[in-house]
A = this chain, B = another copy of it.
Amino acid sequence: SKPWLTFFCCQLIALSGVSERRRGLAQEKMTENGVFSRDKVLTIDTMNPTVKNVEYAVRGPIVQRAIQIEKELREGVKKPFTEVIKANIGDAHAMGQQPITFFRQVLALCSYPELLNENMFPEDAKNRARRILQACGGGSVGAYSASQGIDCVRQDVARYIERRDGGVPCDPDNVYLTTGASDGIVTMLKLLVCGEGASRTGVMISIPQYPLYSAALAELGAVQVNYYLNEEKCWSMDLSELERSLAEARKHCNPKALCIINPGNPTGQVQSRQCIEDVIRFAAKERLFLMADEVYQDNVYAEGCQFHSFKKVLFELGPEYSDNVELASFHSTSKCYMGECGFRGGYMEVINMDPEVQAQLSKLVSVRLCPPVPGQALMDLVVNSPQPGEPSHTTFMKERTATLSLLAEKAKLTEQILNTVPGITCNPVQGAMYSFPNISLPEKSIKEAKALGQAPDMFYCMKLLEETGICLVPGSGFGQKDGTYHFRSGHPSLLKHFITAFHILRWV
């Protein structure tokens, strides 16, 4: 930005004889502005090529443009709207969801234990905080925990899983606390990937998928094996499609794992018990390691739908399956009624993992020292929430129910509103936190997009952002059947939602 200054300095260096030494520097050149500059050591051509293959649409170009527009609005640039509505991400608190009072009280007590002497906190909050602090080195959440997570938190997680799954036993030694679910998923994929060429590890993921999976697989250089969800049947999983996908993949790689997101992201379906059973039998027959992403396990809205954990169904199928099928399941503090994304709390449970591999897993997680301790504390509160008879129970239940009802209401409204828009078809949102409607785009727009080298739904979402301030993620970021177009929308607050629909209506 100050070429004259650099030029002046360079002249000075040249005069002072420093230029003698400079001759030793390789690949240097004089630019137009008189600045000496070398080629960089690290360039787009010399960097890790697998990193270049990573794509993550949820925070991709649309979101970057949205951030720019927000800045322009602050600077007074006139737009047809006054506010950017970020529906690109499932970020509940950013959308106005209130945190659970009890959780935040305990976290404040853990952060500043002096507060244990104050009368303003209920006894159960204080007891939870004392218990967590006692489990921390030096009684401080500022100490490292064990790499696998604080012992008593893992025990509480195990008891939670047992309750959830009707008594199926859970060994705390199989529970690993994580930095959000993403961390656990990437760690598991890392263990699985090996081989080269036709024996390279393949990992089956649904299309549409949550792009963490494609991003992690690209980074690890694994083969992404797509199986398509059936949009006509409310995004269900078809056994025949799994079979087709696997047979296809076996021609060019070694498929070793099958990932399922239930309730679905971005597609919002909740899988039936029968479907989960079929998937488990398929995995057993075909020798696939199962990865069940169950972070939306409390987000089930549609009547007749119910969350079934893969683990529970696995054990109900009998020891033939429960003794053999390898499963990792993931949970998080970021979704459900908590929505505490910023704390990066989560856990994974591994089932039937080879003990030698599990020792390697334990070693691997130790390199990163430990998951954030406040996130571990929060995970503990989620799995060990106020019980009937405890002073915070009533408020906790009221807040939890209100949040889940509001989420259910928004899901229903979104579906209804989107389906009133010509050209948009939205499946029932049975669970999770998003809609993933199908959009018919005019031939003209598709051509215009292709001329610009853009995916047509990216073109659509970009236009929508520029004209209405609504930030969505194009379906191409999640994957979709060729020739179909979608977007993923989070469920912002009701009023904003109507505005969204109104604007979409104008544009299609």
| Chain A residues proximal to chain B, CB less than 8 Å | 6, 9-10, 13, 18, 21-22, 24-28, 35-38, 40-44, 46-49, 51-52, 54-56, 58-60, 67, 89, 91-97, 99, 101, 104-105, 107-109, 111-112, 114-115, 118, 120, 136-138, 140-147, 179-180, 182-183, 186, 190-194, 212, 215-216, 219, 256-257, 281, 284-285, 287-289, 318-320, 323-324, 326, 338-344, 352-354, 356-357, 360, 363-364, 366-375
| A370 touching B342, Cβ below 8 Å | yes
Q: Collect the chain B residues with CB atoms within 8 Å of residue A285's CB.
A: 24-25
Q: A43-B357, A193-B48 are in contact. Are A373 and B342 (CB under 8 A)?
A: yes
Q: Collect the chain B residues with CB atoms within 8 Å of residue A118's CB.
A: 120
A385 to chain B, nearest CB (A): 16
A210 to chain B, nearest CB (A): 11
| A97 touching B343, Cβ below 8 Å | no
A147 to chain B, nearest CB (A): 6
Copies of chain A in the complex: 2
| B256 touching A42, Cβ below 8 Å | yes
| A145 touching B368, Cβ below 8 Å | no
Instruction: Show 14 residue pairs from A and B whose CB-CB distance is below 8 angstroms, ordered by the A residue.
Output: A9-B318, A41-B287, A51-B364, A60-B363, A93-B142, A94-B138, A97-B138, A140-B342, A141-B342, A142-B340, A142-B343, A179-B344, A179-B368, A183-B368
Q: Collect the chain B residues with CB atoms within 8 Å of residue A356's CB.
A: 43-44
Q: A93-B143, A112-B107, A344-B372 are in contact. Are A366 and B318 (CB under 8 A)?
A: no
Q: Collect the chain B residues with CB atoms within 8 Å of residue A59's CB.
A: 147, 366, 369
Give complex CA distance A192, B46 in Å.
8
Give complex CA distance A469, B139 in Å.
21
| A43 touching B369, Cβ below 8 Å | no
Give complex CA distance A140, B40 in Å.
40
Q: Collect the chain B residues with CB atoms within 8 Å of residue A49's CB.
A: 194
| B94 touching A137, Cβ below 8 Å | yes
Query: A353: nearest residue on chain B (CB-CB)?
Result: B42
Q: A47-B357, A216-B367 are in contact. Are A142 and B38 (CB under 8 A)?
A: no
Give complex CA distance A367, B220 in Å.
13
| A105 touching B112, Cβ below 8 Å | yes
Give complex CA distance A111, B364 in Å.
31
| B183 touching A54, Cβ below 8 Å | no
| A54 touching B115, Cβ below 8 Å | no
| A367 touching B192, Cβ below 8 Å | no
Q: Collect the chain B residues with CB atoms within 8 Å of residue A146's CB.
A: 67
Give complex CA distance A120, B46 in Å.
55
| B108 touching A323, Cβ below 8 Å | no
Give complex CA distance A60, B340 in Å.
33
| B6 touching A93, Cβ below 8 Å | no
| A342 touching B145, Cβ below 8 Å | yes
Q: A182-B369, A256-B42, A320-B13 are in contact. Are A374 and B343 (CB under 8 A)?
A: yes
| A256 touching B194, Cβ below 8 Å | no
- With beta carbons under 8 angstroms apart, the residue of B111, B363, B372 that contacts A375 is B372
Give complex CA distance A137, B114 in Å.
28
Q: A24-B285, A25-B285, A51-B360 are in contact. Are A46 and B194 (CB under 8 A)?
A: yes
